[in-house]
Amino acid sequence: MDRHFTDLVRTKFQLIEGMMAQEEAAAAVELTCAPLKVVGDEGDQMAVSQVKEWLFKLKSRNTSFRKKIHRALQKIEDGSYGVCEECEQKITQARLVARPTALLCIQCKESEELFECQSDKRKELRIVSDHKMGKLLQFPQLNMEA
């Protein structure tokens, strides 16, 4: 992979890390100030609860993305950045520009998503089928007390 491109990717990751840190700091300030705003009103308590939930989701999302960033940085260091983990072909630079944490080429990613979609549809069919079978197999309640 081109050294100039990987340097740009590293810089982009540093900027993203900085933005995530600022987001989390702002959310933490909001969470810290939120109890001061609570007067005991149910609406205020709900607002504090929503801020806590939002902060949890934000941290969870950022943690997941940081793992992807660190994995991509490791791949840059070991020279495997830009190589599809499935077919071992090069991932196009256009794809890496759009999604610098990509681990799969576009063809392998589309295949993966198609498989997941088909799997989800099979699950839905199973649930519908189980639901219909449940209705068909309902037996009348027997009175066992007699």
Mean pLDDT throughout 49-53? Answer: 82
Q: What is the dihedral of CA 81, 84, 87, 88, to 10 degrees?
A: -10
DSSP 83: B
Least confident of 75-84, 116-125, 132-141: 132-141
Backbone angles phi, psi at 72, to 5 degrees: -65, -40
13-17, 47-51, 75-79, 102-106: least confident range: 47-51
pLDDT for res 84: 96
Question: What's the confidence (pLDDT) of residue 132?
Answer: 53
* Maximum CA extent, the chain: 84
Looking at residue 138, its pLDDT comes to 46
**Where does the pLDDT of residue 113 fall: very low under 50, low under 70, confident under 90, or very high at 90 and above?**
very high
Q: What share of the chain is helix, strand, coil (3-state, %, to 5)?
A: 75, 0, 25
Token pair of 7, please? 């340097």
All structural domains of the chain, each given as residue ranges with its CATH number in brackets, are 3-104 (1.20.120.910)
pTM, rounded to two decimals: 0.64
Q: What is the CA radius of gyration of the chain?
A: 25
Any idea which of 54-63, 97-106, 130-139 has the lowest mean pLDDT?
130-139
CB atoms within 10 A of CB 60: 10
pLDDT at 122 over 60: yes
Half-sphere exposure of 30 (CA within 13 A, CB side): 16
Nearest of 99, 81, 105 to residue 16 by alpha carbon:
99
pLDDT value at residue 130? 56
